[in-house]
Structure 1
């Protein structure tokens, strides 16, 4: 039994804590790990007020681990991010190999079942390492396992995962319309706005993703940010689901979108506004070779397309070897895995959603990598190319990439120096697997825009097989007129997502 003296000491300690001024209490509570912080917020009303004030500021933080043990690596990044006060509203976990379901279960156990989660298998990761906070990157094959974890808390936003599944025989148009309507329904329930502020997409390696993403580009207003990874593998868990939901028999995964909508029920406590920004570092230059597709055969199982084409101004139909000879004669080098050739196809398609009576035409530039050639056809990755489409040849270009990367850094510098009080909350990069240290010949090139302008920012990123990022570009058309085309799918590029908090 405690003696009278110890009781008096405990009572004195409690009186001291209760009499603490708010500034001192704020400093103490803000240093607690997330779990202890959550308990502290329940102590009494005054503590809850201080805790809510601490959490009124948005937060988005990332860390990665190279630990070859999957469970320990997952615990390391969770311990790192949850070592400070944060109220998880969404989680993105990216791994280079291993068991996605195990990572999903681990995260759900630590952050709770009410948090939307996406786990994806990617070609590589970049960011700041959990053990030393130094920037680095890891690609598949560099180590047996690596994991990047990103957790965000964005007050004033409602976040959830909306998936896209496809049944056997179901068309891309049908599932694309359903995805658009699911997004609209979610936004209408939680927000006073007509469209989400941001979509972060993770796709499976299937031909169904491209037309759906292009439909989103058509439907969503210009202010909606769309970024992501087109081709990979993923698992997802929606808010309030205890675990990943099993698919119906014969259904296949296509996409999962992390949807950010402005929440009508939970405005930001402090005067201010969450904003999303994008910047794109391109890595290709066009070659003066323009063609019109004479015949296209889609093989959706791969997926790939076999095609023949006519050069602009010529009547002769050229086979695959002849088209490849055109490229090599102009450039004077051979195609290889390290220096892929790419065609940019302008796809003019009609789009409509739901009960829209009059479809509208939108022109999109979509990149397809050349994978082979023979005496009959040129083989390119991906589907959706039609007879009559125009295309131009592109090639990776380090000079273009360096100049474009500097432009992204300048864009972040401008964001940093805006006269209104603006704070960068977090950043994420979707980079082509063709890029990285080996492409630039120096370390942390993809990270340099963040490191140069916001060295303390805990950013993250992944290497993709198809980067998603909205943009509009202008180039010379067939009749030498400038025509505007949409570009949402990229190759040999890096798409930067920045989240900022602007004070009124």
Structure 2
């Protein structure tokens, strides 16, 4: 009798219109949705249709309890159907890094790449209040603790379901000797991973985190030279991170090895299922530094220690050594008279080579920023090493007007991108009834300089608005850091130079980097790709 009744119920439910079943299943939380997909072949097919399209989900919590904060963001990102392929978590230093990482692995599983990073602040939408949050933490906060009622705490989580892409974590090991060889191996491992899973020579995008004790400028410069410009590279150059690969290939080494960086590599899947569209990465930036003064040349460079360099300089084309200390004193006096504060940097230009999109090496120039931290009568001191006699440079200052104008430029770049994506999607979906339900942008990630506070930008959410105003419903996560990695086509990076040999910067200062992930549906039958 029970079997007969069960059969009657199943028969009755099976008569429900497939669109209604699809509507019901699409509203289920991720875990319940996964269970529903196992009920029968019909439901599995419907669930596969629902999850055919790529998806990002993000959530932020300011709960002072670590366990409650993790619970809140996990529940939020898994509140709708999604099958995570990767996860990135950014936390305050008051949360224990290893404990947080373990809790996230426990909730999301150990089969996906997961990176957990201690940041100087977070950006995202608070799942409880449903409000955009830009939260920075004091750098002098207390010891690393698990629970606190008074400490500044927070967590933002981004998870992604990206069918059509293969996602892998490639670490840069701490070198015992021959650091250049380790960096070259790191770059080759990225390219070899791409070649193993894709028919493309280079990945679509890379999100990377560099250890805060490591100078990421030469590392990213190597990547810039070896990896074609079509690959978007973004990240945090001042991170404190821990990661899991997802395939257990390196997980046994995580507790015994030190790492200078980790790259989350996104490569096109060689065996992408038919009927899938194309996931695209886009990047633009807002800069906050302004060059001034004549071109200078380093005449002598003395290392103060492993982190600082002293420079003696002259005007390019002249022989006389300039009185660097007096010049810097005059600059600071001018700042005081104008009642303004500015950090000083030098932008050093170096000759290099780059790999074009066609795989050909071409000459180029790279720009490296070093913060000015001291001076003598005929020399000045910068934070960083790697400058050589003969290198040319300019002075730069942090400038709020430049940042505000550059934010507007980034807004316009993203606005043009939105129009372009909308046009492409409309063309490809012109004959589909549900075309209006398709969002072009999957979501985004923001890397912003910690020092770009409200007094610098002079408005609330000044760093987030270019993305959040244009894509208000798209998931977004972000962090504040002290070294923003960003590289992409010059047309999007607000670096529109006619001369391809003009210097290109990949590790920025006083900047905000905007990563946008979009989805272009497959062309309809008879349409050109």
Q: Show the counterpart of 1:496.
A: 514
Secondary structure, counterpart of 1:161 in structure 2 = strand
Deviations 1:174-194 (A, max 9, x none): 111101111121111111111
Alignment of 1:97-116 (within 5 A): 97=93, 98-116=95-113
Q: Considering only aligned residues, what root-mean-square deviation do their CA atoms show, in Å?
A: 2.7
Check the 8 A contact 1:201/1:257 in 2, yes or no: yes
Name the CA distance, whole Å, in 2 between partners of 1:266 and 1:365.
Answer: 38
Q: Show the counterpart of 1:486.
A: 504
Check the 8 A contact 1:323/1:378 in 2, yes or no: no
**C-alpha deviation, 1:129, in angstroms:** 1.0
Secondary structure, counterpart of 2:424 in structure 1 = coil
**C-alpha deviation, 1:330, in angstroms:** 5.8
Q: Show the counterpart of 2:67.
A: 71
Q: Check if 1:442 corresponds to 2:445.
A: no
Q: Check if 1:275 corresponds to 2:297.
A: no
Name the CA distance, whole Å, in 2 between partners of 1:195 and 1:118.
Answer: 22
Q: Check if 1:296 corresponds to 2:293.
A: no
**C-alpha deviation, 1:145, in angstroms:** 1.2
Alignment of 1:23-38 (within 5 A): 23-38=19-34
Check the 8 A contact 2:53/2:276 in 1, yes or no: no
Which of 178, 181, 190 matches 2:188?
181
Q: Show the counterpart of 1:83.
A: 79
Name the CA distance, whole Å, in 2 between partners of 1:213 and 1:335.
Answer: 36
**C-alpha deviation, 1:390, in angstroms:** 0.9
Query: Measured at CA, do residues 63 and 438 of structure 1 come closer, stay the same or move farther in structure 2, by a change above 3 Å?
Result: farther
Which of 259, 264, 268 matches 2:265?
259
Q: Show the counterpart of 1:346.
A: 349
Name the CA distance, whole Å, in 2 between partners of 1:247 and 1:453.
Answer: 40
What are structure 1's unaligned runs of at least 5 residues? none
Which of 202, 211, 227 matches 1:195?
202
Which of 18, 27, 41 matches 1:45?
41
Name the CA distance, whole Å, in 1 between partners of 2:13 and 2:384.
Answer: 64
Name the CA distance, whole Å, in 1 between partners of 2:497 and 2:167.
Answer: 37
Check the 8 A contact 1:299/1:383 in 2, yes or no: no
Name the CA distance, whole Å, in 1 between partners of 2:6 and 2:339.
Answer: 77
Q: Show the counterpart of 2:370.
A: 368
Which of 159, 163, 174 matches 1:166?
174
Check the 8 A contact 2:228/2:354 in 1, yes or no: no
**C-alpha deviation, 1:328, in angstroms:** 3.0
More strand by share: 1
Check the 8 A contact 1:165/1:252 in 2, yes or no: yes
Name the CA distance, whole Å, in 2 between partners of 1:490 and 1:180.
Answer: 20
Which of 313, 331, 336 matches 1:327?
331
Check the 8 A contact 1:347/1:385 in 2, yes or no: no
Q: Show the counterpart of 1:233.
A: 240
Secondary structure, counterpart of 1:307 in structure 2 = strand
What are structure 2's unaligned runs of at least 5 residues? 142-150, 426-438, 524-529
Alignment of 1:347-426 (within 5 A): 347-349=350-352, 362-375=364-377, 377-418=379-420, 419-421=423-425, 423-426=440-443
Between 238-247 and 395-404, the greater mean CA deviation after superposition: 238-247
